[in-house]
Structure 1
């Protein structure tokens, strides 16, 4: 008769359940997979499938007792690590959202907003366009595969039960400034061009006060802004490659033990 001890059962359960919580937390918070467009049940299926694939190659897991507080702490640790990786990726995608908002305000299209079906919030149309463009680029360049590779390596660099260092979250907060700086650099040419257009309209108003600047300047600024934005899209791929490389490299550094 086959007899199983509590330690054997705890080892088998831990080898699958603990990685599942880290993988599931990442899929619930990362862009594309963590949006409301993908049902939670599908995300759970993805998490189970990924865990089944990577579990045989992971380091040994500590024994988990389901009725012990230590097991709950280990589960909470895995959720925090997975959510940390997901929020780091969210910062990368928010660069283009912020860039679209800045351009929309400068060209007078801040009022042209729509509900983002992925996040359920109202954003500018320009931001929504950039978000869809970046999503397609991210998937076409296998960025999601790099994320899953980093996640698998994190079980070695950040082992289960090794403790979650607070420095990782401070790094995440520090990179918020990098996000704003990258967004401004991305749309800096468009901002300067639109600033020159607005200065030109100001000079026209002073030279010919009888002109109705609101009836002339607003549509002209909108048309010129769209033209400048269209011209700026020619370099979007190079900017995306640079920012994506920095974001994924930072994700690898975030997963390393400190």
Structure 2
């Protein structure tokens, strides 16, 4: 017979089996690039989170038995949100790496004023950063990176099961230090083009010192811009190996964040 009353234990069982995984998946989809941008409606992200939750719930280990409206349930919910946001932030750092590299190159070569609104984030970014963002998005989808990303994320339910233990203090510190990795990698990516444009600027400075009559602003800006575009064209041939390396490092970081070797 169908029970006429829904007991507190039954509600707690439903919460443990479906709601907590839904919190982790939904928070991940709200932060991760491609799926968490403004181009994807919130209803579509929520529907995808519900679909993934229904598919993976039978494969998950049993959830802890706690009361649905207790302090322990709130702690577990916050832990799931922190895990989802943390792993989504690891992927966001990969995208922002190329945005920062594009900003560095654009500012050095004089293209910093040429900005446009990024439809994904709703902020102004240099055109070069937008080109880099479109390029890595297409490469990521072409390499089936989104499938690998979801595979690693689903593995987190096995390595970090639903419970009172989340990322912990060590995981939070690793996420904070990930910002430094983003800036260091962006600087290494932009260093060849920035150095090439800097050499041109130094050469014009020496020429101005030797011939003060020469207008450095009239000659240096267009030549530096042309040389910067040439540097970007030359360095674009090695764009794919850099993207593969940074993507591999990001996936390894997501696994290490879960405690996997």
By the TM > 0.5 criterion, same fold?
Answer: yes
CA RMSD of the aligned region, Å?
1.6
Corresponding residue SS for 1:231:
helix
| 1:172 lines up with 2:169 in the alignment | no
| 1:238 lines up with 2:236 in the alignment | no
| 1:221 lines up with 2:258 in the alignment | no
TM-score (norm 2): 0.94
Residue in structure 2 matched with residue 254 of structure 1 by the alignment: 257
**Counterparts of 1:67 and 1:170, CA distance in 2:** 30
Matches within 5 A, 1:5-154: 5-154=7-156
Aligned length in residues:
258
**Counterparts of 2:17 and 2:87, CA distance in 1:** 21
Corresponding residue SS for 2:34:
coil
Corresponding residue SS for 1:114:
strand
Note the C-alpha offset of 1:67: 2.4
| 1:188 lines up with 2:191 in the alignment | yes
Note the C-alpha offset of 1:226: 0.9
Note the C-alpha offset of 1:207: 2.0
Note the C-alpha offset of 1:5: 4.8
Residue in structure 1 matched with residue 206 of structure 2 by the alignment: 203
Q: Deviations over 1:205-243 (max 9, x none)?
A: 122221111111111111111111111111000100111
**Counterparts of 1:122 and 1:207, CA distance in 2:** 40
Query: Gaps spanning 5+ residues in structure 2: where?
Result: none
TM-score (norm 1): 0.95
Q: Deviations over 1:174-227 (max 9, x none)?
A: 121111111111111111111111111112212222111111111111111111
Note the C-alpha offset of 1:121: 1.1
Contact 1:88 1:251 in 2 (8 A): yes
Query: Gaps spanning 5+ residues in structure 1: where?
Result: none
